[in-house]
Amino acid sequence: MLRYLIKRLGQTVFTLFAVTVIVFGLGRMTGDPATVLMPVEARQEDRARIMELWGLDQPLHVQYLRYIGNVLRGEFGDSLQWPGRDALELVLLRIGNTLELGLVALLFAVALAVPIGVFSAVYKNSAIDHVGKFIALLGQSLPHFWIGIVFIWIFAVNLRWLPTSGRGTWQHLIMPAVVIGWFQVAALMRLIRSAMLESLDSEYIKLARLKGVRERIVIWKHALRNAAIVPLTYFGIMIAYLVVGSITTEVVFSWPGVGLLVVNAVTARDFPVVQAVTIVFAFVIVLANLVVDVLYGVFDPRIRFE
């Protein structure tokens, strides 16, 4: 377990390193980095500050070392959109909102995918199984930026059940969370279904039934606990998709999170903020994957004791 964790930690560092290289490389892809990194209308003092912060007059490898040093210290420079505001600070101010949305979306996805997945396996080829397959197909195919707008039109504009956009009450959370979570439902449900089918076919399920255990407990304790191990490995990827999904969805619903921040920053060519968001997102995703790996051990005693 410990050796495994150390190995995973190594991979994590490698991924983060690669992200910094990509961001660094892209920032300096064409000729004069100062013009690339700065909007044309940027003020002279901003330009000078960036030149100094990133050492843009130095050779490339020195620039990278300097860059990595700045990233490690969390210094991405000031935002160009909002002069005087530190880029990382802007991100950290909003990351809570994004995580809040992501967490609710995750809960929604699990709350929907687990029962559908379990029942599709228990009642294979029944109506619920077909409904589940249809949900999975829709989940793969619907563009979520569009579904969000359709939801707004139906539930906010016409029915007036929910607020159109923004953050505030719990009602504000419903539509964006459903839109983001919807896409996870499809994949998660399918994983749970196939894992449950395998689990239900096993000898330990037979033995549990032979013990006279109630069918409810056979399914929800014995079968699901084993079947849950497989989808758990998917959670890392799922969190990445939640982060990604949050970008378009935050724009659709004007949710004041990191996604909306970064899209606005791109439009304003506010490169320090874009960099800060990218690094923070990469960090969150990588960290989530690491946590999932640890959880994996907790859920599966066979790994825990290795």
Partner 1 sequence: MREAQASAVGAGPTRARLAWRWLRELPLLPIAIILVVLVIPAIFAEYLAPHNPYSGSLRARLQPPAFLGGPSEFLLGTDHQGRDIFSRIIFGSRISIAVAGAGILIGGSIGTTLGLIAGYFRGVAETIVTRLVDLTLSIPAILVALVVAAAIGARFTTVVAIVALVLWAVYARQVRAEALKWAQSDFVARARVAGASHFRIIVRHILPNIANTLIVLSTLQVGFVIVFEGSLSFLGVGIPRPNPAWGLMVADGRIHVVSAWWIAFFPGLAIMLTVLSVNMLGDWLRDRLDPKLTQV
Partner 2 sequence: MLLEVKDLRTYLFTKRATVKAVDGVSFYLRRGETLGIVGESGSGKSIMALSLLQMEPKPAGRIVGGEALFRGDDLLRKSQGEMRTIRGRRISMILQDPQTSLNPVFTIGNQLNEAFVTGKQGLARGGVRKAVVDVLRKVNIADPERRVTAFPHQLSGGMKQRVVGAIAISCSPDIVIADEPTTSLDLTIQAQYLRLIKRLQDTTGVGVIFITHDFGIVAKMCDRVAVMYAGKIVEHGPVRSIFNHPSHPYTQALINSVPKLEERTERLYSIPGQPPAPGQELVGCRFAPRCEFADERCRQEYPPQFEGLSRHSEHTADCWRLEDPTWRPSRH
Contact residues: partner 2, CB under 8 A:
202-204, 206-215, 217, 222, 225-226, 229, 299-302, 305
CB 262 to partner 2: min, Å: 41
Going by C-alpha positions, the residue among 236, 258, 232 that lies closest to residue 247 is: 258
Q: Which burial class, exposed, middle or buried, applies to 55 when counting CB atoms under 10 A from its CB (0-12, 13-18, 19+)?
A: middle
Binding at 111: pick from partner 2, partner 1, none (beta carbon under 5-8 Å per type): none
Binding at 11: pick from partner 1, partner 2, none (beta carbon under 5-8 Å per type): partner 1
CB 57 to partner 1: min, Å: 19
Name the site residues for partner 1 (rule: CB under 8 A). Answer: 11, 14-15, 18-19, 22-23, 26-27, 29-30, 36-37, 137-138, 140-147, 149-150, 152-153, 157, 164, 190, 240-241, 243-244, 247-248, 251-252, 262-263, 265-267, 269-271, 274-275, 277-278, 281-282, 285-286, 289
Going by C-alpha positions, the residue among 291, 276, 286, 294 that lies closest to residue 95 is: 276
d(CA 276, CA 91): 7
Cβ nearer to partner 1, comparing 37 with 173: 37
Binding at 246: pick from partner 1, partner 2, none (beta carbon under 5-8 Å per type): none
CB 110 to partner 2: min, Å: 19
Residue ranges of the alpha helices (H) in the chain? 2-27, 33-37, 44-54, 60-72, 87-122, 127-141, 144-151, 170-200, 203-210, 215-217, 224-227, 229-252, 258-267, 271-299, 301-304
Output the six-digit token pair for 91.
């991100």
Cβ nearer to partner 1, comparing 44 with 158: 158
CB 138 to partner 1: min, Å: 7
CB 137 to partner 1: min, Å: 6
Cβ nearer to partner 2, comparing 17 with 204: 204
Q: Which amino acid is at 25?
A: G
Binding at 271: pick from partner 1, partner 2, none (beta carbon under 5-8 Å per type): partner 1
d(CA 138, CA 189): 13
Classified as helix, coil or strand, 75 is coil
Binding at 137: pick from partner 1, partner 2, none (beta carbon under 5-8 Å per type): partner 1
d(CA 277, CA 279): 6
- Number of residues that this document lists for the chain: 306
Cβ nearer to partner 1, comparing 18 with 291: 18
d(CA 230, CA 233): 6
Going by C-alpha positions, the residue among 4, 8, 6, 2 that lies closest to residue 236 is: 8
CB 175 to partner 1: min, Å: 13
Cβ nearer to partner 1, comparing 15 with 70: 15
Cβ nearer to partner 2, comparing 75 with 300: 300
CB 50 to partner 1: min, Å: 13
CB count in 10 Å sphere of residue 139: 21
Going by C-alpha positions, the residue among 159, 187, 190 that lies closest to residue 245 is: 187
Cβ nearer to partner 2, comparing 90 with 121: 121
